[in-house]
Structure 1
Amino acid sequence: MNNLKLRTYNGDLIPVAAGQQLSLEETREYEVVFDGEIEACQVFWGDILLEPDSKGRLSIRPGYWVGDAELRIEGSAEPLSVPVRVQPREEKLPDSLWVAMLQDLEAWLPGVSTGIEGGRDGQVGETGVSVPLIAEALIPVIATFERAIRAILEFPRRLDVSILDDVPLRMVRRVDRETLNWVSRHPEFHAHLDPWKSLELTEQQPTLPQRKTIDILDHPANRYISWLIRRVENVLRITAEGLELACNANPTDDNVFWCHSRAKRLREGADRIFRIWKTSFLSDILYEPLSEAALLVVLDDPAYTRVHKIGRLFINPLFQFNNEGTKPQASVRPSFSIYELWCFHAIGGQLKQLLPDWNYVSPGMNNLLGHTATGEGALHRLTNQNGDKIEVLFNATFAGYFSRSGKSRWSISAERRPDIIVSFKPEQHEGKWVSLDAKYRVGRNSLSDAFSSAHIYRDALRYTGYGGQCLASVLLSPSKSDDSLEWFADEYLETYHEGIWVLKPGLSNREIGQWLIRLLLN
């Protein structure tokens, strides 16, 4: 095996060897470098086969996600598989704070950190919460499920059944009560039992119904296994279709490759499972859900127990954030989306703590779950005894100018969706509101581009009943750099009604919540 290295964005070389874990940063580019003559091999970044560019270089480009991945070398004399941890950019958040942010989110709304990106985190198993398309995480388990099915097909359970078989009279060796009752009901048969009279009979010797026992494969346990296989096949196909729909709804340069690659593997797995079912006796028998008779076999026979356990995992996979390291991991949400959700959660939490006497509710949080969900309708609402109301809305829609009729939120240009708006509505007076836009960016160049959204939201958005334009339009950033400190200053915000707040896990103060209360309630 050639010595393998990764060349970083700044020219450093990272050696790659078996038994180590690589640490890379999101949204960086790493070139795959071989020492000496390159062997004929294939390099995989997770599920994606790396193709050389116009200059013949292979490059790894983690997208906007943080999580676990794998770098594999196949087709060489010494195949190699190396686990990779993709971390947040150092200037944005240290990995410890990123984990704290995920833990905070998952404690608040379990399953919200899952997505369709390339990285993986958490675990999928028998415990946790149900999340859309989470069965995609079980791609590595498909081969195990196939082997478990084949083990049953090799030694299937059989069912003993009793049937009546017409036996020629001369072949009868045993006569039971049921046979005697049949003879007594058919007097025309009596002549054949008299040896002298039978000599005078010219018709063909009759047959006598005799009961016998045979074993068949139409066992309740086999019916259940057939039903389970078809359900798993259907789950795999539906998940593949859902992945592609989610990818088409929110396409990025990164998730398109991951989604199509995983959807292809899901369909291939479904096809293999269907072929096993179609070419076996299972396709010739009825299939039905788990019955009491089937359950007894599932509890008693290890082979049937294994298929049942794996198949049920596909039908009802559950996600939890704590990772034991032995179970499949779920795909992660984009890092910027996770930061937006955490900011929404953090601002609602700060207001709840600062206003303990106000009644607090948080409806619509399920709108945040799912890979195609926009989150609109999720909100934190605080109400006092006078009927005054504070709301923190996520991804609220401001209709375009020509679609504004009958809508309280609208734009003087095109439709807009600020990440977060915080509004205050007194019982008897006009309300007020503030726009907050969470930007998972750091540095003057990145934030200067992001400032365009703050300008647009302040100038273009109108909220009827809440004073029309917002009082301020503010960006939220995980960190500040020396080249943009003035944008974070209180004086800048007071002067221009625009600015940037630092919001990240680990901050013990509640400055942004206090600022919102001063601005809206006073």
Structure 2
Amino acid sequence: MITVRRRGSEAHEEWIAVAAGEVVTGFHEDTHYEIRPEPTTLRVFVDDVELLAASGWFQWCPRFYAGQVRVDVLDASGAQSTYCLTISPTAKKADDDKFAEIIEAIRTFDQTLLGGVSAATLAFGNTGRAGIHADHVLLARLRLYGHEFLGAVAALARSPHQKLSADRQMLPLARARRLHPTALREHKLSTLLSGTSLAVDQLDTIQVHAWTSTPTVDTPANRVLLGLLKRFRATLTALRERVAALRLGDSQDEQGTRLHRRIALLDHLESRVTQLIQHHPFNAVKAGAAGSSGLTQIAAQPAYNRAYRLGCAAMASRVEGDQSLDQLHVSPSWGIYETWCFLQVVACFEQLLGIKLTPSRSKVVNAQLAFHVPLSSGHLMEVLFQAKFPAADPHTDRLGWSISRERVPDILIVVYNDTTCRSLILDAKWRSGRANVLEAMESAHIYHDSLRLRRGSATERPSHCILLLPGASDVESLGELDFIHTHGVGAIAEFLPHGAGVAFLSDLFKKWLSPLHS
């Protein structure tokens, strides 16, 4: 068991008890906690990151992520216990119900957009397609199913599937039960069958070709399982190379803090699978595909069927599906919020225009996601997510560029025709509090000053650069329309499902599009 409480709050906070395997709620991001294992524990890991101990308690602060977090506790003998804590967003930003609506909206559109590298996990299925964090998904599934798969194979290896092999060999006549057709060519046997007498003591000298049967484990089912074990080992080897080289796609510093635990996991799995391959029954199985007959045999035997399903699940990197089976890593809460804001903007334009926006490839700048729609005015509108404005001079063949370094605003709305181009920037900020909001306004000023779009002979800056904030307004002037129109920057608060900020942004879009029809 472990107990957890907020740090520095001895007089106000009680210890929360967490049993092994239990999922406990009530924890929040960006909050400092103390973890006290019972009995005395040598080491505590949160998502493979070892915690520091002070006076027997371990210090932990979940940063900006929300979901289930795995806590591994190792005692003096090396035995491990696992606990699950559910982290919620800070109440000033979004309550659990609002954040659940954000998650569900992204799931409905494309679950792969939820995938990420934070310590938090959410439930996913294993059909569909892989996301951009396939290696992290693979690592998580190897941890979830790898040991169970190898354990299932080891159990069935103690009583493996067998068949009787039919072989032809020379046997004394007295031992032969079923003669091979070529046995009739034997002269002594022909003499016996023709009725010619033979001495009794000569019967034992007659050798004939006969069918014999012996048990063998070289069956289609075992061949399929051997192939699965070899593929499992190859998957471990390839992933270990990428883990050791810190090539999983996120911060190398973050990967470095998790490196030892990840390598130890993969090495242990590789050692176990190698032992299985080298011992009975798989060392007596011929390599090679067994075809549909092997899968048919596996489907007919519950132990083999279970092992096969676990092996396939351990190597799956797909993250879609109606059945939520696996806890997989997701983006930080601010990344999830950015994605939802983009989907909300697309939905807002679809409602205003009465037409669906179509996925496309942008002509303006590269982007992670791009949608477009032709307007009745003859203009084309594009809505882009994570639009990359390259650092370039005005001679670039793209419509957009940055006069300083590369810039990547969260959401770009651009309307253009052959001669004109207008744009609006929205930047989602998972922030709350006056000081944090004012600090976040820096990005609005940078985008407004540095980004350029060209059409024909005209070069334009974004007309507005506006922050989208989940919480209540702490700097009300930033959200006033007069302020936004006067300065070209501002912030919209309460931009959450059913929040006042959604209606405010819709009204702003109406006013922004109105000059196109004048």
Same fold? TM cut 0.5:
yes
SS at the partner of 2:230?
helix
Instruction: Give the whole-Å Cα distance in 2 for the aligned partners of 1:464 and 1:260.
Output: 50
Question: Is 1:28 paired with 2:31?
Answer: yes
In the alignment, what sits opposite 1:153? 157
Decide which of 141, 144, 147 is 2:145's aligned counterpart. 141
Contact 2:6 2:31 (8 Å CA) reproduced: no
Q: Which range moves more in the overlay, 465-474 or 301-310?
A: 465-474
Deviations 1:362-420 (A, max 9, x none): 2369xxxxxxxx99241121213553211111122212136963332211121111111
SS at the partner of 1:83?
strand
* Structure 2 counterparts to residues 157-168 of structure 1, below 5 A: 157-167=161-171
Question: Is 1:7 paired with 2:10?
Answer: no
In the alignment, what sits opposite 1:98? 99
Question: Is 1:514 paired with 2:507?
Answer: yes
Instruction: Give the whole-Å Cα distance in 2 for the aligned partners of 1:456 and 1:186.
Output: 102
Contact 2:217 2:284 (8 Å CA) reproduced: no
**CA shift for structure 1 position 48:** 3.5
**CA shift for structure 1 position 463:** 1.1
Deviations 1:9-43 (A, max 9, x none): 656434132457242211222133589xx835433
Instruction: Give the whole-Å Cα distance in 2 for the aligned partners of 1:237 and 1:220.
Output: 26
**CA shift for structure 1 position 220:** 0.5
* Structure 2 counterparts to residues 391-406 of structure 1, below 5 A: 391-401=382-392, 405-406=396-397
Decide which of 463, 466, 475 is 2:467's aligned counterpart. 475
Decide which of 180, 185, 202 is 1:182's aligned counterpart. 185
Contact 2:479 2:492 (8 Å CA) reproduced: yes
Contact 1:240 1:264 (8 Å CA) reproduced: no
In the alignment, what sits opposite 2:359? 362
Contact 1:122 1:321 (8 Å CA) reproduced: no
Contact 1:110 1:129 (8 Å CA) reproduced: no
Contact 1:130 1:317 (8 Å CA) reproduced: yes
Change (3 A) 1:246 1:458: farther
Question: Is 1:494 paired with 2:485?
Answer: yes
Q: Which range moves more in the overlay, 170-179 or 397-406?
A: 170-179
Letter aligned with residue 274 of structure 2: F
**CA shift for structure 1 position 343:** 0.9
Instruction: Give the whole-Å Cα distance in 1 for the aligned partners of 2:310 and 2:36.
Output: 40
Letter aligned with residue 444 of structure 1: R
**CA shift for structure 1 position 348:** 0.9
Contact 2:160 2:281 (8 Å CA) reproduced: no
| Runs of 4+ residues over 6 Å off in structure 1 | 76-80, 184-187, 193-196, 243-247, 321-324
Among all aligned residue pairs of Structure 1 and Structure 2, give the percentage whose two residues are the same amino acid: 20
Contact 1:244 1:263 (8 Å CA) reproduced: yes
Contact 1:241 1:263 (8 Å CA) reproduced: no
Deviations 1:109-153 (A, max 9, x none): 12321222211111445x566443433333132222122101221
Instruction: Give the whole-Å Cα distance in 1 for the aligned partners of 2:327 and 2:349.
Output: 34
Change (3 A) 1:364 1:117: farther
Question: Is 1:328 paired with 2:318?
Answer: no
In the alignment, what sits opposite 2:271? 271
Change (3 A) 1:90 1:120: same
Change (3 A) 1:72 1:228: closer
Deviations 1:224-277 (A, max 9, x none): 111112223334444555667787643186665457644642443233223222
In the alignment, what sits opposite 1:444? 434
Letter aligned with residue 511 of structure 2: R
Question: Is 1:16 paired with 2:6?
Answer: no
Contact 1:8 1:14 (8 Å CA) reproduced: no
Question: Is 1:423 paired with 2:414?
Answer: yes
Letter aligned with residue 441 of structure 1: R
**CA shift for structure 1 position 504:** 1.5
SS at the partner of 2:273?
helix
Change (3 A) 1:331 1:40: closer
Contact 2:178 2:211 (8 Å CA) reproduced: no
**CA shift for structure 1 position 186:** 12
SS at the partner of 1:511?
helix
Letter aligned with residue 410 of structure 2: D
Instruction: Give the whole-Å Cα distance in 1 for the aligned partners of 2:407 and 2:41.
Output: 51
Instruction: Give the whole-Å Cα distance in 1 for the aligned partners of 2:37 and 2:165.
Output: 66
Letter aligned with residue 295 of structure 2: L
SS at the partner of 1:275?
helix
Q: How many corresponding residue pairs?
A: 495
**CA shift for structure 1 position 443:** 1.9
Q: Which range moves more in the overlay, 10-19 or 275-284?
A: 10-19
Deviations 1:153-177 (A, max 9, x none): 111111212212234x687656735
Please provide the CA RMSD for this pair.
3.8
SS at the partner of 1:492?
helix
Instruction: Give the whole-Å Cα distance in 2 for the aligned partners of 1:497 and 1:163.
Output: 88
Letter aligned with residue 96 of structure 1: D
Letter aligned with residue 463 of structure 1: L
Change (3 A) 1:49 1:289: farther
Change (3 A) 1:241 1:332: farther
Note the residue ranges of structure 2 that are not aligned, 5 or more in a row: none
Instruction: Give the whole-Å Cα distance in 2 for the aligned partners of 1:507 and 1:313.
Output: 40
